[in-house]
Amino acid sequence: MDLERDILNLITYSGEATSLSIEAIEYARNGEFAKAEDCFKEADEKLIMAHKVQTSLMHREAAGESFSMSILLVHAQDHLMNSITTNTLAKEFVKVFSELESLKKKGEA
């Protein structure tokens, strides 16, 4: 496998997951919770794809393949870590928006 391709895939999948997580917050802010959940489903799929790339790299290294530590590889790992954090926090934001929506409806009744 091509290391550079794997690194770029890791960055791409992670970046897409981050964007989808932010999009979910925007939908939730507008009360569109089904669309927010759709974004999370897609984001979770992207994170799984990123994890598969990361796991493949770790297995290859454990099997004796040598990788030079490049800025690009560190950048890719950074993207994945930030994407996971963003996804986790976005899910909490959506829960808060959902609770606020429920409280608003109770106040109108």
> Any idea which residues carry the catalytic annotation?
75
78 marked among binding-site residues: yes
From the list 69, 79, 73, the residue with the least C-alpha distance to 6 is 73
What are the binding residues? 78
What are the binding residues for Mg(2+)? 78
